Chain A
Amino acid sequence: MAKKVGDLNASSQADIAFLLLIFFLVTTSMNVDQGLYRQLPPPQEKDQENHDKVNERNIFIVLINKDNQLAIEGELADISSLTERTIEFITNPKDKADLAEKVMASKKLEDATKENKVEDIKNWKKLIEQFGDIGITKGVVSLQNDRGTNYETYIAVQNAIVAAYNITRDKFSQEQFGKVFDDLSADEQKLVKLVIPLNISEAEPRSVK
């Protein structure tokens, strides 16, 4: 017969668990890290000139000066109007001559074939199959800031521009798939990204006005 073992007193287990709990509460933080992703341009090599010329109408210039004032295409503007202006610029619904041009997807495919970029050819073919031969915006948002610009203002401007792209993508996804961009599959998202590419260029640092 097995020896009887006395009952283990488990009343302190709760205390131990509480202790652990409090330890984790103190050493950890609840907030999830989040923010705006951005890809920096690769380092510029010395005495390298920027050769690829972009047509004037395809650049949407946003300036922020040291007093945190905003200028869109050379005119003082309020930050609240930036999202709307950017959307108008990239979609250019009325084909205005001073807003971004569009290039047909078939042209892009042609270019990719010429340069023999296998991956690109595949992507553009898939895109034409999915949406037909649609126009793809050539618009680039150029953001320039002064060294004295407040970081808060800078982020607000970045945010407004990204918002414009997200809204445009959402609208396009809604029309094509009946879903918002975030709910699309990875492949579908890739296609929508091809149609509405996020082009934000940040100039080499210099002082603004």
Chain B
Amino acid sequence: MAKFRKGGSRQMAALSTASLPDIVFMLLFFFMSVTTMKETDYKVKIKLPTATEVKKLEKKSLVSYIYVGAPLASYQGKYGTEPRVQLNDKISNLIDIPDYVESERQSHDEAERPLLTYSLKVDSDAKMGIVTDIKQELRKVSALKINYSTLKTERKGNY
């Protein structure tokens, strides 16, 4: 019978892990540059609709978000199941929108104020009634630049 060579007689050289931190740091910087901080926790369910003609939101700092959708299950006891408005991280009422716009304006320089954009993140199952109401509230306080947040799909058909 052949004898097995005894283990441990031939040892592999230790793998140098000195460059591991560098690699991980590289990954870290990559992720830091391509991702953005989550703005708020959603308290409403939002499934965005899709569109083909989308434009990217430039200058994140000049964008304020308004979320619309049915409250999540854990909030339904308090707020019901009908689509509601969420401003910052609170489920609010329509009458709170002018205050929200005002506070957003206050937190920016005067020069930047006309450039403020309001991004409407609305659930695709919501009805237009609430969206129309929000648009009217925004118009009342002259917040006229809006953006309907959507996901991007490719254009169908050949043009």
The answer to whether B57 and A33 have CB atoms under 8 Å apart is yes
Main secondary structure on B side of the interface with A: mixed
The answer to whether A37 and B124 have CB atoms under 8 Å apart is no
A148 at the interface (CB under 8 A from B): yes
The answer to whether A151 and B49 have CB atoms under 8 Å apart is yes
Interface string of B81-119 (1 = CB under 8 A from A): 000000000000000000000000000000000000101
Chain A contacts for B136, CB-based, 8 A? 205
The answer to whether A42 and B55 have CB atoms under 8 Å apart is no
Question: If the complex has contacts A36-B148, A36-B150, A40-B146, are A149 and B128 also in contact, measured as CB distance less than 8 A?
Answer: yes
Question: If the complex has contacts A36-B53, A42-B144, A155-B150, are A25 and B139 also in contact, measured as CB distance less than 8 A?
Answer: no
B72 at the interface (CB under 8 A from A): no
- The size of the chain A interface, using a CB distance under 8 A, is 46
The answer to whether A42 and B148 have CB atoms under 8 Å apart is no
Q: In whole angstroms, what is the CA distance A118 to B20 when docked?
A: 63
Identify B128's interface contact among A20, A146, A159, CB under 8 A. Answer: A146
Identify A35's interface contact among B17, B131, B147, CB under 8 A. Answer: B147
| Known A147-B128, A163-B53, A205-B136; further 18 A-B contacts with Cβ < 8 A | A17-B25, A28-B36, A33-B60, A33-B149, A35-B119, A38-B148, A39-B146, A40-B143, A42-B142, A146-B128, A149-B128, A150-B127, A151-B49, A151-B125, A156-B49, A156-B51, A159-B150, A205-B132
Contacts from B to A (Cβ < 8 Å): 17-18, 20-21, 24-25, 27-28, 31-32, 34-38, 49, 51-57, 60, 63, 117, 119, 122-129, 131-132, 135-136, 138-140, 142-152, 155, 159
